[in-house]
Structure 1
Amino acid sequence: MQQPLWTPTAERVAASRMDAFRRFVNQRHGLQLADYPALHAWSVEKREAFWPAIVDFFEIRFHSPAGCTLREGPAMPDAQWFPGATLNFAEHLLRRRDGHPALVAIGEDGSREQLSHAQLAAHVAGLQRALRDAGVGLGDRVAAFMPNTWQTVVGMLASASLGATWSSCSPDFGTQGVTDRFGQIEPRVLIAAAGYRYAGKRIDLTDKLNEILHQLPSLDHLVIVPYSRDEASPADYESVAPATLWQDFYQPGGAPQFTPVSFDHPLYILYSSGTTGAPKCIVHGHGGTLLQHVKELGLHTDLSATDTLFYYTTCGWMMWNWLVSGLALGPTLVLYDGSPFHPGPTRLIDLIDAEDISVFGTSAKFIAALEKAGVRPRESHKLRSLKAILCTGSPLAHESFDYVYRDVKPDLCLSSISGGTDIVSCFALGNPTLPVWRGELQCKGLGMDVQVWNELGQPVHNDKGELVCTRHFPSMPVGFWNDADGEKFRAAYFDTFPGVWAHGDYAEETEHGGLIIHGRSDAILNPGGVRIGTAEIYRQVEKVPQVLESIAIGQDWQGDVRVVLFVRLREGVTLDEPLRDEIRQVIRANTTPRHVPEKVIQVADIPRTLSGKIVELAVRNIVHGRPVKNTDALANPQALELYRDLPDLQK
């Protein structure tokens, strides 16, 4: 009989914020909710009571009170949360003002800069004054082309404090990728790095930035951060707007002021990956983002003011926005910029001991790569402070769960989490009060009516289907930019099941109340009419030591679909028939004959988005001779050519 990989002690459960919140709800409402399933059921059925409880538990400050909690129309997405309320997102992230470290920014080259909570507030106050003097106000856009470092956080907080709207891309984005995004939102101010470092190389961004500037006529001001390029000068940049170096643009000091805005006032503009067309500009509001993030970080992640939180991310991925929200709970954030494997595979693991990281966030790919590299942190590192590992970006293989508890640390909460840019948060995530079961995301998020539906729109358990959310939630996007009638927004999420959010994940609800994500719905394989999630195949292929990573697609073939698997192998390994047979046998032995690929083909690289997700749809389009739109959204677009006109796929 299967046993959980980890179970929290009664003492740990009682000390968790999740359990404190359960007791808070029971006392306030005269309830006897005994455990998490009961708490979750209440949070969904009584949303009008649950979300105000979050407001009070985390001491969210409204400048003007709400007329009610929720005003709903006849069907999603027609709803308004806390109508009449005003607040400011940045105010809550800057509540702590003492000398405790707020941000520790670490570069790949070993550089380290630290700001206390008091210093962070002083920097935000100074930049806020400079932005206001530059004419930035309510609804204006401030954009950043920046690495993950402290200046980026200061820029976001200063922007949000004024009621302006923040949007960021990381410096590894291509020119077209940046202009496809920022060109749509027409920023007034651009904060940009002069350069950055990655994999031991110093990369000068001057030429790329000049190309971008030519396509941003809306700019009123350019602020250059001489990051990794100390010699940067305003004269280097061909900007229609005045250019100023970061250190000359403002002087830190004083206390920041906060402009009260409506609950749904635009805080962030995030972007879809853009691999199937121009990126969608997804607008998220102050209130919904704040409430969802304090719930997820404070309750589901058990983050407190004594913790140190790390997440490996760039500023072009929503996990950066999620990470920065941790400031609302008063901890220390560790920001890392650079390759996670330079100069060696333990680079990020070293940070755990060096910075006393208690919550470590990463991707499924990183954990799999550590195991493939033979890294055993339990033997090489102390990891005394580490209490939780968070993982997202793609489904975490069952074997990676085993690896973490065997070779990293047996006593920690491994939380595989899943959500997305679309909701700037999660549908399913971790829980410090619940056991961890192999291969499962621990639970549905509080207040989120997450279900798995079949094609007929019926809920299913222990079976695969579409992940949906059947009731409105506060972090649903305010809408898409330049989509006045909401047509594009409704088409993106509500066409599959009218009035119900369909997230595009192929999932399964387990007997433990957890979830398994089997891949993206649009990447589902369909040989002989049987739906197969790509993650089911990847999980097995990762067991083969010679394989570093893989990507599977369905190829239209002779009136049906055949499964094609592409594999990237270890250096010096060539795909021969014995290895093909081994790969097929591992898949067959652990899944079904339908999962076994008809073709197994070696490739030198696998295309992925800038946030590290492999792109099955782009490969499928190339294989079928269809165009791939907006390849600038890819980190390695040249890899697509490896899949074009392959002789093996013509027979």
Structure 2
Amino acid sequence: MTELENTPLWSPSEEDIVNSNITKFISYLSQREINLKDYLELFLWAEENPEIFYDTLWGFSNIISKSKGKQIVRDRHLMPGAKWFPDAELNFAENLMIGNEESDAIIFEGEDFTSKKLTRKELVEQVSILAQAFKQDGVKPGDRIVAYMPNIPETVIAMLAATSLGAIWSSCSPDFGVQGVIDRFGQIKPSILIACESYFYNGKKFDSCPKIEGIVSKLETLKSVVIVPYNEKSKEKKISDRCIWWNKYIQKFTPKKINYKYMNFNDPLYIMYSSGTTGAPKCIVHSVGGTLLQHIKEHIFHTNIKNNDKIFYFTTCGWMMWNWVVSALSCNATIILFDGSPFYPNFGRLWSLIEKYDIDIFGTSAKFIDACSKDGIEPIKKYNLKSLKTILSTGSPLAPDSFDFIYSNVKQNVRLSSISGGTDIISCFASGLPVKSVWRGEIQSVAIGMKVRVFNEEGEEVEGEKGELVCLESFPSMPIGFWDDDDNKRYINAYFKKFPGVWTHGDYSEITKNKGMVIYGRSDTILNPGGVRIGTAEIYRQVESFQEVTEAICVSQEWCQDIRIILFIKMAEGKKLNDKLITQIKNKIKTNASPRHVPAKIISVKDIPRTISGKITELAVRETIHNRAVKNKEALANPEALAYYENLEELRS
């Protein structure tokens, strides 16, 4: 059973429901003789009639296109193989550069307090100028333009300029090492690299130029390398003969009307990457129309973005949440960008942005909320959070204790929406819902217009029982495929091997009695002692409630023809693991989870390995404790941490 309370933590008011975009959509449908009473009927109708749902969503959201085409979907039941809007032609960038010219499009603040603001008119002008430079550089539809950039306005400008021409965009954040970048960009053979000369993190300025030089030397397909100054204080310097500074690259051009290149709905837009912890990163290709339509759906219905709302998400441009939040421009929202450490100079940095910029929607990671909870910060007392309507959390399951922290220490009248999906679909399978209550420890709802279910091991649908998160029918933001995987062999193996014809996402999940969802961890890291399937998040939510524990990672160890659970914990500063704490941890796990969840060993470690996007990597630890090679350490932000798990005496008995 999941940890639920008898009453919700938040419920929408009647006014909230009436003014929601979902209610407006129900009214829009009624004008087309589709009469639905409430969101429950809407969700059921959308699941049963996805063609009509996505067709009416297109009109409701005023998507700009050259043509929508007559056919909504071809081979809907075929996975993979379905084609949504097979004859539609549109441009992604055009749909983001809309709205009142004088309203703010982007507000940026860097860790060093560098700031910048762009109106929609200024954004369009800068995109126009860069697009002209790209075009003169020979950029054609389908060319790959890549970025090695911090989360600054120029990154958004470059993406929009690239996609306005029909080019394919892909990006990595500047904390990636040279080999990590090459492992990704090297596979897709880019023609242009956009790179920033420096970035800030945790109070330090990092010079990216040596890494840029290393990257450029190994990407032989590059025609141009455009160097972006981080701010006005940055000094231009020579990096290599192949590099040109941003201002010089665009200096001969002036703003003019953008000639958008219309692309087929199913043409490539973005190339994203798997974490790469089990081998070379997979290059996941997402479509122009599928990405746009899915993001608009989530922004309008699940996030409830309104005109001129200000939305913030703490992310780097190496994580899909960057792509997701930038798409909010299509809803006439202002996007707030921040680059740097979320904890510098203190734990209040990101919370202070809400007051400073009147943020309506604040997005972050579950780990950030957990860290703030452990720190004891009370934003409710320190900052004016009157504007704040919604808090979003993703990256890992949001623990019940973190729900408590938000409602006691941040704001009582706020919708806390844990959301879950992934790079694989560049969107969500489970998300927030503004017309539904928030229950402790739960994601509010599955995504509208998607046939999301949980399967047991026999492939049977279950509720109130843990199993595999699956999607039974196609949806617009399914990947086109993997790059350089012409026969779709790797693509099919990744998502359709376990249950043929059904998308298996790899999340160990449960649909609750409230019709919400709980994610217990990744299926490939499921612990299976004595044949009982246990999600790692079930253990984390107990362990990380201890103030003495900063973070934990849990893996299975092969032992005596079975497996046993090993729990590694990183202690808070000044704290040490002792027998008393070990007993307390085991008792809490036993009481709140089950006796089978109790680890055989609890071991203190100095650090926990994580991917560059910030996720702990259980697979790498599991391989290390079994003396098996970790295939791609370049995918880790801190590969040196694996040394703490090698040849441990405690694991020999």
**Alignment TM-score, normalising by the size of structure 2:** 0.98
Select which of 332, 337, 340 maps to 2:339. Answer: 337
Unaligned stretches of 5+ residues in structure 2: none
Q: Which moved more, 1:147-156 or 1:579-588?
A: 579-588
Amino acid aligned to 1:245 = W
* Equivalent position amino acid for 1:30 in 2: I
Alignment CA distance shift 1:236-1:229 (3 Å):
farther
Q: For the residues of structure 1 that align with 2:76 and 2:53, how far apart are their CA atoms?
A: 19
The equivalent of 1:614 in structure 2 is 616
d(CA) in 2 for partners of 1:8 and 1:300? 13
- Paired residues of 1:526 and 1:532 also in contact (CA < 8 A): yes
Instruction: Determine the structure 2 residue equivalent to 1:570.
Output: 572
Alignment counterpart, residue 400 of structure 2, candidates 398, 401, 420: 398
Alpha-carbon distance between aligned partners in 1 of 2:462 and 2:29, rounded to the nearest angstrom: 30
Q: After TM superposition, where is structure 1 displaced by more than 6 Å over at least 4 residues in a row? A: none
Within 5 Å, give how 1:289-300 maps onto structure 2. 289-300=291-302
Task: Tell me, yes or no, if structure 1 residue 552 matches structure 2 residue 554.
Answer: yes
Q: Which of the numbers 503, 525, 528 marks the counterpart of 1:526? A: 528
Displacement of 1:67: 2.8
Q: String of CA shifts for 1:596-647, please: whole Å, max 9, x gaps.
A: 1110000111111111111001100000111111111111111111111111
Alpha-carbon deviation of 1:238? 5.2
Q: What runs of 5+ residues in structure 1 fail to find an aligned partner?
A: none
5 Å matches for 1:184-583? 184-227=187-230, 230=233, 232-233=235-236, 235-237=238-240, 239=242, 243-250=243-250, 251=253, 253-583=255-585
Question: Contact 1:389–1:414 at 8 Å: present in 2 too?
Answer: yes
Contact 2:455 2:468 in 1 (8 A): yes
Q: Distance in 2 between matches of 1:440 and 1:425?
A: 18
**What is the aligned counterpart of 2:9 among 5, 14, 17?**
5
Q: CA deviation at 1:97?
A: 4.6
* Offset of residue 421 of structure 1: 0.2
Question: Tell me, what secondary structure is at the counterpart of 1:309?
Answer: strand
Whether the aligned pair in 2 keeps the contact of 1:7 and 1:436 (CA below 8 Å) is: yes
Q: CA–CA distance in 2 between the matches of 1:23 and 1:398?
A: 35
- C-alpha change, 1:381 and 1:175, in structure 2 (3 Å) is same
**Aligned twin of 2:157:** 154
**Contact conserved, 1:195 with 1:206, CA < 8 A, in 2?**
yes
- Verify: 1:128 aligned to 2:131, yes or no: yes
Contact 2:76 2:474 in 1 (8 A): no
Deviation sequence 1:495-539 (CA, Å, 0-9, x none): 010000000000000111110000000010001110000000000
Which whole-Å CA distance do the structure 2 matches of 1:531 and 1:405 have between them?
32
Q: What code does the residue aligned with 1:303 have?
A: I
Q: Tell me: CA distance 1:73–1:356, structure 2 relative to 1, closer, same or farther (3 Å).
A: closer
Distance 2:124 2:469 in 1: 40
Aligned residue type for 1:48:
E
* Corresponding residue of 1:16: 20
Q: Distance in 1 between matches of 2:320 and 2:367?
A: 17
One-letter amino acid of the counterpart of residue 582, structure 1: Q
Deviations 1:22-57 (A, max 9, x none): 2212331332x2222211111111011000111000
Q: Aligned equivalents of 2:566 and 2:581: distance in 1?
A: 15
Does 2:41 match 1:38?
yes
Q: Residue deviations 1:321-372, cap 9 Å, x none? A: 0010000011111100000000001000010100111100000000000010
In structure 2, do the counterparts of structure 1 residues 73 and 115 end up closer, same or farther at CA, with 3 Å as the change threshold? closer
Partner of 1:182: 185
SS of the residue aligned with 1:196? strand
Percent identity reads 50
Alpha-carbon distance between aligned partners in 2 of 1:456 and 1:620, rounded to the nearest angstrom: 27
Q: Pick closer, same or farther for the CA change 1:224–1:53 going to 2, 3 Å.
A: same
Q: Which moved more, 1:95-104 or 1:261-270?
A: 95-104
Where 2:430 maps in the other structure, the secondary structure is: strand
2:624–2:642 CA contact under 8 A, matched in 1: yes
CA distance in 1, matches of 2:257, 2:336: 24
Q: Once the two structures are superposed, what CA deviation does each residue of 1:70-118 show, in whole Å capped at 9, x if it has no partner?
A: 1007631111111111000100000125111110111101111000010
* Deviation, structure 1 residue 236: 1.7
Q: Report the RMSD for the aligned CA atoms in angstroms.
A: 1.2
- 2:174: which partner in 1? 171
Contact kept in structure 1, 2:392 and 2:418, CA below 8 Å? yes
For residues 192-226 of structure 1, give each alpha carbon's deviation from its aligned partner in whole angstroms, at most 9, with x where no partner exists.
01111100111001111111111100000010002
Q: Provide the TM-score with structure 1 as the length reference.
A: 0.98
